[in-house]
Structure 1
Amino acid sequence: MGTLRRRAALVIAGTAAVGMVLTGCSDSGSGRKSSNSSGGSSSSKGSSKDSSKGSGKTQDPSDTPTKDDGGKTVPAGKPSKPATGGGGRTGPCTDAETELTVTAAPRPVNYQLITLTNTGKRTCTVLHYPVVSFGPDLDGTAEGREDTRPQAVVTLKPGASAYAGLNTSPADQADDGTKPHAKTLSVDLIKKVGADGSTVQLGEPDTVKVNDLFIYEPKVSYWQQEMDLALS
């Protein structure tokens, strides 16, 4: 602020001299000195006032303390990190951080129980239902059962499991030997669900061997937190 006061004094003292010089200049009639002058550009009225009122420094927005997704205060100047557990936001489970098993269910008839266990170190979510295809050479995937859609997204903490029930064929459909059989099941996870209900798969399915399953109009439940709900 001292520098600004000294500069003001010099301007007042040299007003008459500057006026005489400007009278003899023709800068397109603007009445201002050319920008080529070593004296620099003049500041507008009131620009010498500091909006920070005494701080002498404009505050950087990054210096303001913020809160991360978990509600904890983050020190100024440090980016917040999204929480991955304990109430924070979680992303979809991936094939790399889960383990898949498929076993024959004791009931109902013609059901396989698909179990997905979180073997990773973060909490993750499983979306929609598993995308189940059959091998070695069967086309198509199992149809998702909309009547099993859970009310909330299934969330898995490390070590927890989710379940889905695969109905390989209707109970009243006889196997006459002419219909397809599967010796393997491939299960892929969904990483994104669009507003229109469209889905995007991870594209890295896990494949497991099964005991020559009769496949006819297969259907699969949504992922469930409880085994009984998957097999209902």
Structure 2
Amino acid sequence: MRSNRIRTTVLTATALLAALSLTACGGNDGTDAKKPAESVQDSAGSPKPGTSATPDKDSTSPTDTEPAADSKPKTPAAAPKTNTPPAAQPKPKPKPKSPVTCTGANTKVTVTKVSRPINHLLLTVTNTGDRPCYAYHAPMLRFDGAQAVFRVLQDSKPQAVVTLAPGTSAYAGIGLTGEPNGNKPYPSKHLGVTFADRNDGPVNSASVELTLPGVTYWDDNGFVTYWQSEMADALTY
């Protein structure tokens, strides 16, 4: 009995020594030992091997955090500029062009038959130029075969020279026949028109030849009026 008790004591001591030995070995290989918390960076600020040196977006420090866009002070919108241009200066009116003499070169001349007065024609001249023109005196008319210009009716002389602005017209009445004198009227198909200058001389360089309406008869007692501003005045005589 005593030897068995001694054997049991020895085995217990041996087991205790073995346990202690195993505990010591476990601290060396790290299988059972508790490891301390690891930091990403050491005391010198170096990153732990295997980790990124750039901090995560969600781990920025308070000093690097910018205020949200809505928290920035808003600058009041600038009032729109209203640059009122200076008042436009009116363009100076062009200086009026000086008038010239009406001729066949700067006018259009037509002849028409009228119903009243009977045996009358109406001569119309229209300024086609770019400046006013003076219709001096009366037109100088010559029918086919006539030896002289048609007689001018002096009673139709206006108070002032007729001035035609560009695009406007003047008129002269033609009385084809007068008091019967026993002679037969002359037939004609064409009418030559020559303008007069300031001195009542002919401007032969710009004469106009017109076709008469049908066969027109005239006699030596016929007449032509001075140029008139109104058609009615030209057909009064």
Q: With the length of structure 1 as denominator, give the TM-score of the two structures.
A: 0.56
Count how many residue pairs are aligned between Structure 1 and Structure 2: 141
Alignment of 1:1-232 (within 5 A): 83-84=96-97, 89-135=98-144, 137-170=145-178, 173=180, 178-193=184-199, 199-203=200-204, 204-210=206-212, 211-217=214-220, 218-232=222-236
Distance 2:115 2:163 in 1: 26
RMSD: 2.1
Distance 2:186 2:147 in 1: 10
Distance 2:113 2:198 in 1: 29
Distance 2:226 2:125 in 1: 12
State the Cα deviation string for residues 125-144 of structure 1 (Å, max 9, x = none): 10000000011x22211111
Distance 1:156 1:222 in 2: 14
Distance 1:222 1:120 in 2: 21
Distance 1:94 1:220 in 2: 17
- Residues 201, 181 of structure 1: alpha-carbon distance in 2 compared, 3 angstrom cutoff: same
Structure 1 segments of 4 or more deviating over 3 A?
Answer: 172-176
Distance 1:223 1:167 in 2: 14
Residue 192 of structure 1 and its aligned partner are, at CA, apart by 2.5
Residue 91 of structure 1 and its aligned partner are, at CA, apart by 2.1
Q: Structure 1, unaligned stretches of length 5 or more?
A: 1-71, 73-81, 194-198
Q: Is contact 1:138–1:182 with CA below 8 Å preserved after alignment?
A: no
SS at match of 2:173: strand
State the Cα deviation string for residues 97-126 of structure 1 (Å, max 9, x = none): 100000001211110000000011111110
Q: Is contact 1:119–1:159 with CA below 8 Å preserved after alignment?
A: yes
Residue 163 of structure 1 and its aligned partner are, at CA, apart by 0.1
State the Cα deviation string for residues 26-66 of structure 1 (Å, max 9, x = none): xxxxxxxxxxxxxxxxxxxxxxxxxxxxxxxxxxxxxxxxx
Which letter does structure 2 place at the counterpart of 1:158? P
Bigger mean CA deviation after superposition, 202-211 or 109-118: 202-211
State the Cα deviation string for residues 45-99 of structure 1 (Å, max 9, x = none): xxxxxxxxxxxxxxxxxxxxxxxxxxx9xxxxxxxxx842xxxx42211211100
Q: Kindly, what percent of the aligned residue pairs are identical?
A: 34
Distance 1:116 1:165 in 2: 12
Q: Is contact 2:103–2:207 with CA below 8 Å preserved after alignment?
A: no
Distance 1:105 1:169 in 2: 14
Which letter does structure 2 place at the counterpart of 1:166? I
Q: With the length of structure 2 as denominator, give the TM-score of the two structures.
A: 0.55
Distance 1:174 1:181 in 2: 16
Distance 1:202 1:184 in 2: 19
Residue 189 of structure 1 and its aligned partner are, at CA, apart by 0.4
SS at match of 1:187: strand
Distance 1:174 1:228 in 2: 28
Q: Structure 2, unaligned stretches of length 5 or more?
A: 1-91
